[in-house]
Amino acid sequence: MGMLRRLVKGRIWTVVITAAVVCILILAVVQGDRHISSYGFCVSCHSMSYPDAETRKSGHYGRLGVNPTCKDCHLPPTFFKRLIAHMIDGPKDSIGEFRYDLSSIEKFNEHRAEFAHTARMTLKRRNSSPCRHCHKDPWPTSEYGQSKHKLLREGKATCIDCHQNLVHEWVPEEDLDKGLKEGKIVLR
């Protein structure tokens, strides 16, 4: 009987310790995501001060009391998809900070088309999920807009196909479907 008690007692401690470690890991992941998705973290790189200033001047900022930050447009709205995005895009973005000289707006602008292309393609692959998170059921008043949004409802288009250059400085618009097929920038 003593051996059975020791075995049960030992297993209880194993379960308690394992549960505690799992809880700590979950909290660390949640807090880590909260930190690296934060506005402060995003604009801590000098190069992000330029797009941030553009966002603050755009029609998307301040309208109806809404002030979107980087994560609202550049990351998926759901937790697990956002974690995956951090794991895939985070290292690329970090390497880009060292790969390019982005110390001035002029140097940033030398790479602006490439950055816009990457952001647009990411939104395209994500079916514009960040857009849809805020703009739940958009239905424009113009006939042209309604015809385009019909394509959206039929799954033949996504927000970024038509809505490019809304927030940041103007960059030539792309045909994203052709660009995905050809693996390069294809201008309209």
Are residues 26 and 51 located together in one domain of the fold? no
Are residues 27 and 51 located together in one domain of the fold? no
Q: What is the mean pLDDT of the chain?
A: 90
Specify the pLDDT at position 38.
93
Are residues 25 and 110 located together in one domain of the fold? no
Tokens of 78: 């759901």
Are residues 8 and 69 located together in one domain of the fold? no
pTM recorded for the entire structure: 0.84
How crowded is the C-beta side of 16, counted as CA atoms within 13 Å?
6
CA-atom Rg of the chain in angstroms = 22
At 135-173, the pLDDT tens digits run 887 788 889 988 989 998 898 999 999 999 999 999 999
Specify the pLDDT at position 50.
93
Q: Residue 64's pLDDT band (boundaries 50, 70, 90)?
A: confident
Asked if residue 127 is part of any domain, the answer here is yes
Specify the pLDDT at position 107.
95
As a whole number of angstroms, the longest Cα–Cα distance in the chain is 81
Q: Residue 60's pLDDT band (boundaries 50, 70, 90)?
A: confident
Asked if residue 49 is part of any domain, the answer here is yes
Taking 70 as the threshold, does the pLDDT of residue 2 lie above it? no
Specify the pLDDT at position 8.
63
From the number of C-beta atoms within 10 Å of its C-beta (0-12, 13-18, 19+), residue 12 rates as exposed
HEC assignment per residue over 145-181 = HHHHHHHHHCCCCCHHHHCCCCCCCCCCCECHHHHHH
Tokens of 139: 């239905």
State what percent of residues in the chain have pLDDT above 70. 95
Taking 90 as the threshold, does the pLDDT of residue 28 lie above it? yes
CA angle 177–128–76, rounded 5-degree value: 130
Cβ–Cβ under 8 Å, residues 57 and 63: no
At 115-130, the pLDDT tens digits run 999 999 999 999 999 9
Are residues 87 and 119 located together in one domain of the fold? yes
Asked if residue 99 is part of any domain, the answer here is yes
Provide the domain limits for residue 28: 1-36
Are residues 25 and 50 located together in one domain of the fold? no
Specify the pLDDT at position 15.
87
Separation CA 24–CA 27 (nearest Å): 5
Are residues 51 and 28 located together in one domain of the fold? no
Are residues 55 and 18 located together in one domain of the fold? no
Q: How many domains does one find in the chain?
A: 2
In 10 A of CB 133, how many CB atoms? 13
Asked if residue 148 is part of any domain, the answer here is yes
Are residues 94 and 158 located together in one domain of the fold? yes
